[in-house]
Structure 1
Amino acid sequence: MSHKQVFDTLGRAGFVARGVVYLVIGWIALMIALEHRAVEADRTGALELIAGKTMGFAVLWFLVVGFAGMTLWRATLALRPELPGKKGVGSRLASAGKAVLYAVAAYTTARFTVTGHASGSTNQQSTDFTTDLMRHSGGRWLVGAAGLGLVIGGVFMIKRGLERRFAKELRTGSPSGATRRRVLILGTVGNVARGVIAVGAGGFLVDAAIKFDPSKARGVDGTLRALATAPLGTVILIAMAFGLAAFGAYSFCEARWRRL
């Protein structure tokens, strides 16, 4: 197998791993909407749910390998400016940032698989992050800036989904016809759902900074539960559940048809 084939395989394994996690988070969100389950609707909750299923141990190790593969793929994109379409500084910095996020995901998933201990829900992580920052001079402003950054990133994801900018990352002509239309729908719905969650989580961080109250910070799970308390909250949460599942399904499509 050539270096290019190894490189592609690592990237595609990462997209499959991401798809599995988003499908499970979508399922948890749906359970919360319909049954008010207490499982966290985030990566920690997804890992715990997977661990309790038949072949869960094998799936967890696949996720570790997939996230590690995605880390290496993203890091390569950041370090090799000669790759097509990846010469811009902004694109390379984005790849570097994603490499760090996937490295954390690989590490925490591996630790959970080996020890059975999760690193905490995204709600707890957000609260701890906010508390630590606010202990320092200017930390309040940093929390607000982080929240504003999440809001801007979420708006970008929503815009990217609605304008279908993600389609340029798929191989030309693959998929085609009706299949391509379905893939584009999955990508649109999935990106919009992720954007809404990012905007919500960013808004909570900004609120925490304004009120100087770290307990106001929320992660993915807390943001989804907050949506559930809004008017027509159950309907909104069900829609978000399907949106997250759609992004999971779109991740599988990327694993097959994305240009690498």
Structure 2
Amino acid sequence: MSRLSAALKSGLRRLTPARRRKRAVVLNSLELIARIGYGARGFVYLSGGALTLLAIPGLIDGAAGTRGAISWLALQPFGRAWVLLLGLGLLAIVSWRLLQAISDADNEGTDRQGISTRVSQGFSATGYALLAFSAFSLLFHTPADPGAADVAAGHREAARMLSLPFGNLLLAGLGLCIAGVGVSNIVKAWRDDFAAHLSCSVELCRRVVPLARAGYMARGIAWLPLAALIFLAGIRSRASDVTSFDAALDALGRQPGGVVLLAAAALGFIGFGVFSFIEARFRRIRPPREIVPV
């Protein structure tokens, strides 16, 4: 370690003042992008959890996931400004996730565990990119009932898939893939060391890690009802069985004991949102050497 530190210090001394300033600008810019991304993610999940809690006693109409929360914000005063800022923030988390997945910003390595983590980060980037796209689309057209519009869009996409050769198997396979996303979040909730990438005190890390575990657990469980509905739609070849994430949460709440599960999911979303804000403040951001060489 001493040799490595000496080599790094020697390399930094050889940098000209102009190159040092340029390197500092790049470092600070990448760090700012990552922190904005974590903050935007936190705001979306915190909003979705709060709206879902309000939906349980009927204070608002229907539970809300991430997309539902953005759609709800779009209908509020200054809604387009909110949506624009959230869309840009989500693009920031997409950029950081791509750096993690492609350039191994977190030094996960190339062993089986490292590749698995980086592939997961790549899928996460895709998911947030789709969420950012849906946010930007609301700038041009905000439906009066976003929930109904999402369900109708799901019906159309399912019907289009079922019209393909072996479309029912493709739709059922999509349901299994979504179930896999849910299960992977549940596994991550138990397995990962969420404090490993935080630069905070031991006491603070000890307090916030349960928020991350609850959040990933809630995300995983919340995906399973939607996965089951899409899988059954494929098996039955019925596009009308496909619904949206928000409608699947509502269906969960209507089951026996579903109110308790829905409340737990909402609190988990809120916990995940709070933990995302913690990451926005305390996460160690390590830009890849390919982009910021020493």
- TM-score by shorter chain over 0.5: yes
**Which of the residues 50, 75, 78 maps onto 1:27?**
50
Aligned position for 1:42: 65
Query: For residues 208-231 of structure 1, what are the alpha-carbon distances to aligned partners after superposition, in whole Å with 9 as ceiling and x for unaligned?
Result: 111111222233212211111111
| 1:230 aligned partner | 255
Residue 107 of structure 2 is aligned to residue 84 of structure 1: yes
- Structure 1 residue 168: Cα displacement: 5.3
Gaps of 5+ in 2: 1-23, 286-294
Equivalent of residue 251 in structure 1, options 231, 255, 276: 276
> 1:64 aligned to 51, 62, 87, which one?
87
Distance 2:153 2:190 in 1: 30
**Which position in structure 1 is the counterpart of 2:6?**
none
The 1:148–1:6 alpha-carbon spacing in structure 2 relative to 1, beyond 3 Å, is same
Q: Is the 8 A contact 2:45 2:272 kept in 1?
A: yes
Equivalent residue number for residue 194 of structure 2: 167
Structure 1 range deviating more: 71-80 or 35-44: 35-44
Partner residue, 2:16: none
Deviation at 1:50, TM superposition (A): 2.2
Residues 17-66 of structure 1 show CA distances to partners (whole Å, capped at 9, x for unaligned) of 11111111112211221116324513343123324546654433321221
Amino acid at match of 1:230: Q
Check conservation: 2:195, 2:205, Cα contact below 8 A: no
2 CA distance for matches of 1:118 and 1:83?
42
Of structures 1 and 2, the larger Rg is shown by 2
Scaled by the length of structure 1, what TM-score is found?
A: 0.86
CA distance in 1 between counterparts of 2:261 and 2:28 reads 42
Q: More deviation in 141-150 or 211-220? A: 211-220
What is the 5 A alignment of 1:173-252?
174-177=200-203, 179-252=204-277
Secondary structure class of the residue paired with 1:34: coil
Q: Percent identity?
A: 26
Q: Distance in 1 between matches of 2:138 and 2:152?
A: 16
Structure 2 residue identity aligned to 1:59: W
1:140 aligns with 2:168: yes
Looking at structure 1, the residues matched to 144 and 85 of structure 2 have their Cα atoms a distance apart, in angstroms, of 17
Q: Runs ≥4 in structure 1, deviation > 6 angstroms?
A: none
Check conservation: 2:217, 2:268, Cα contact below 8 A: yes
Tell whether 2:55 aligns with 1:17: no
Question: Could you give the per-residue CA deviations for residues 85-111 of structure 1, whole angstroms, max 9, x where no partner exists?
Answer: 154544443333333332232232123
What are the residue-to-residue correspondences of 1:121-140 with 2, within 5 Å? 121=147, 122-140=150-168
For the structure 1 residues 132 and 120, does the alpha-carbon distance in structure 2 shift closer, same or farther, using more than 3 Å as the test?
farther
Q: How many residues are treated as equivalent by the alignment?
A: 257
